[in-house]
A and B are shown apart, each in its own frame.
Chain A
Amino acid sequence: MENLIALLIAAPLLGAAVLLVGGRRLDAVGQWIGTLLSAASFVFGLILFADLLGKNAEHRTLTQHLWTWISVGSFQADVTFRLDQLSMTFVLLITGVGSLIHLYSVGYMEHDERRRRFFGYLNLFLAAMLLLVLADNYLLLYVGWEGVGLASYLLIGFWQHKPSAATAAKKAFLVNRVGDMGLSIAIMLMFTTFGSFAFGPVFSHAGDASEGKLTAIGLMLLLAACGKSAQVPLQSWLGDAMEGPTPVSALIHAATMVTAGVYLIVRSAAIFNLAPDAQLAVTVVGAVTLLFGAIVGCAKDDIKKALAGSTMSQIGYMILAAGLGPIGYVFAIMHLVTHGFFKAGLFLGAGSVMHGMNDEVDMRRYGGLRKYMPVTFITFGLGYLAIIGFPFLSGFFSKDAIIEAAFAKGGTQGWILGGAALLGAAITAFYMTRVMLMTFFGEKRWQPDENGNEPHPHESPKVMTIPMVLLAFGSVFAGGLFSIGDRFLNWLEPVTGHSEGHSPISAATVTGATMVCLVIGVGIAWAQYGRKPVPAVAPRGSLLTRAARRDLLQDDFNHVVLVRGGEHLTRSLVYVDHTLVDGVVNGTAAGFGGLSGRLRRVQNGFARSYAVSMFGGAALLVAATLLMRAV
């Protein structure tokens, strides 16, 4: 059974190789090759899942050793896969949602000439992401980590003829590089501390290391997670990443890749559990990001950017939960899975809307679309209800659990984190209701574009709606399926561990408070966008709104602090180089040059002057000899 693990990765990798090397002759069937191999990986995942379910909880870890990658002295890197409950969960999410999005892309990318290449990149992404979650050591994980970064770069910039897409791809790549630096430093620290970076030795020896070292490793891992998961302060790339085709946003920038940071932290639980300072930093990053993303999401008129803000905010919830330690690990992963369903569904819905509206993304040009796109409306609506935490849908269970866990952290920290999570829930309800009302309700606001083509909104083809319907099922039922009877908790607990915190307030009170927040959020959104018509041109808005439209000035901040700061730093370094370093070097050279210029005059070419110096020298030698004899 272990031997199936490599096939999970091999199937999409084969797809990527065939599609990218195969050339034009595969143009007609490329999309089906990609989808089929992705589905094959999902089937392997299901077989392995059934196998794991048939075993006792303590025997649910399968490993497959393929070959020794690098072996130099004590430096030992193996290509070994580990399939346990945590990676199994990710495998099913990645291949399941991935296959649905492949299917959706068949319809969405139907008219794109470079469709074959698109599916090749999607398969490459799946292979890299599976490698990331199946790796048994941090170095192999790093390979997958870089692989998904590459796939993300290629797919964001897929329409590279648009300068904005090319720039967004570069931005995502560069910001991710900062995070990747953190991961590589963490791996080096692990090697110097534990003499290994394989999961087994690192986790079992974590207790022997000093807390300072563990904190350093934890903070570096957090930096890596911030980059990949678009958390403050490395969040700026996610909004621009929406330049990519919508299925990419759904798969990579909502459901899977951006959750890799959460995986990294939960996987490294053994390190974080012993480094409370690093954990505190994780929760702070999570809490700040969940509010940051939510506020940005409120102000965006671009439907994909509003959803991107929402993704950032929801991942903030997961990071917050992951930082809470054993109280929160399980809920972080549970929210990750349910979020994978409803956010992928929401993005596919947004893609379907754009498909019917001539690729218009401005929600102020939508309105009243529920009559034209009933299936999209219903599936998007179910995703919407799930994300705001409507009772008994997926988000209700998973988000509620995180808010409870935040309060259960205890003390002042618990109140602050819980309060932030509750406030985030209210803002989530507000901005998602806003998206819903502006897109599907009210009067139609679309107009002919500059070429005089008026959009004719229409429902998308079956190949696109079927994945949306399936994801909507997931959005509705996944939470209940996981939570009732603590199924998900029992499944994941052997890997991540779990402890109940001591909440100062009861679970029922938290649920009640969440419901109140939900109603307030929806109510304000209704009052603003439901009761009165939405203006087709955005009003000026308050100072906060204007800041939020510019992503809370993240790019301005980066520009002033990092770009300008970097420029000043390099300029002063260049100045020092030119004056001080070059001055010393050039001065020495000039001094020797002048000296040798004078000495050169001795070489005048007259044999007689050479003879004089020879006689002079000989006379000096004789004089010196006589002097020494006299003394």
Chain B
Amino acid sequence: MNPVNYLYLAALLFTIGATGVLIRRNAIVVFMCIELMLNACNLAFVVFSRMHGNLDGQIIAFFTMVVAAAEVVVGLAIIVSLFRTRHSASVDDASLMKL
């Protein structure tokens, strides 16, 4: 099977993730969309690794997973404490950082 198709799939997943980040208000959903974007990238890396015949892309994919795991820990903690103080998980309610 042509590996380019996997790239199309990766681009599709990334676009779905980005759109979700931009249009959804629920912090959990936004978070999941970010994960979607990261995994789209991982897929692209692995495909490139396969296409070029070296292991660089696969190694970077592991790095991405580590970073994503750390991000999940910090991000979920923020979301939980946000929900505790404001009783809402909407990202638009947390809009105090403005002039």
Contact = CB atoms under 8 A, between A and B. Distances in A.
Interface in B56-99: 91-92, 94-99
Contacts of B92: 606-608
Given A612-B22, A615-B18, A607 B98 contact: no
Nearest to A603: B98
A559 B94 CA distance: 71
Contact of A606 (B18, B21, B95, B99): B95
Contacts of A604: 95, 98
A543 interface: no
A611 B18 CA distance: 9
Contacts of B94: 607
Contact of A607 (B18, B23, B91): B91
Nearest to A597: B99
B95 A605 contact: yes
Chain A interface mostly helix, strand, loop or mixed?
helix
A20 to B, nearest CB: 64
A596 B63 CA distance: 41
Interface in A572-613: 600, 603-608, 611-612
B22 A608 contact: yes
Interface residues of A, number: 10
A612 B98 CA distance: 16
A129 B99 CA distance: 70
A94 to B, nearest CB: 76
A608 B96 contact: no
A380 to B, nearest CB: 87
Describe B's contact surface by its main secondary structure: loop
Contacts of A615: 18, 22
Nearest to B98: A605
A30 B84 CA distance: 90
B77 to A, nearest CB: 17
Contacts of B96: 605
A612 B22 CA distance: 7
A467 to B, nearest CB: 84
A610 to B, nearest CB: 9
B22 A611 contact: yes
A603 B22 CA distance: 17
Contact of B91 (A600, A603, A608, A612): A608
Interface in B25-70: 25
B99 A600 contact: yes
A604 B96 CA distance: 9
A604 B23 CA distance: 16
A603 B21 contact: no
A622 to B, nearest CB: 12
Interface string A289-327: 000000000000000000000000000000000000000
A99 to B, nearest CB: 81
Nearest to A610: B97
A611 B97 CA distance: 14
Contacts of A606: 91-92, 95
B37 to A, nearest CB: 10
Nearest to A607: B91
B18 A605 contact: no
Nearest to A619: B18
A597 to B, nearest CB: 10
Contacts of A605: 95-98
Contacts of A611: 21-22
Contacts of B91: 606-608
B78 to A, nearest CB: 11
A600 B92 CA distance: 18
Nearest to B96: A605
A615 B33 CA distance: 14
B98 to A, nearest CB: 3
Contacts of A600: 99
B27 to A, nearest CB: 9
B6 to A, nearest CB: 20
A611 B99 CA distance: 18
A605 B99 CA distance: 8
A287 B25 CA distance: 98
A282 B92 CA distance: 88
Contact of B99 (A603, A607, A608, A612): A603
A384 B15 CA distance: 116
Question: Which of A600, A603, A606 has most chain B Cβ within 10 Å?
Answer: A606
Contacts of A603: 97-99
Nearest to A596: B99
Contacts of B99: 600, 603
Shortest beta-carbon contacts, A-B, top 10: A605-B98, A605-B95, A607-B91, A603-B98, A605-B97, A606-B95, A600-B99, A604-B98, A603-B99, A606-B92
Given A603-B97, A608-B25, 19 more contacts: A600-B99, A603-B99, A604-B95, A604-B98, A605-B96, A605-B97, A605-B98, A606-B91, A606-B92, A606-B95, A607-B91, A607-B92, A608-B21, A608-B22, A608-B23, A608-B92, A612-B22, A615-B18, A615-B22
19 contacts: A603-B98, A603-B99, A604-B95, A605-B95, A605-B96, A605-B97, A606-B92, A606-B95, A607-B94, A607-B95, A608-B21, A608-B22, A608-B23, A608-B25, A608-B91, A608-B92, A611-B21, A612-B22, A615-B22
Interface of A: 600, 603-608, 611-612, 615
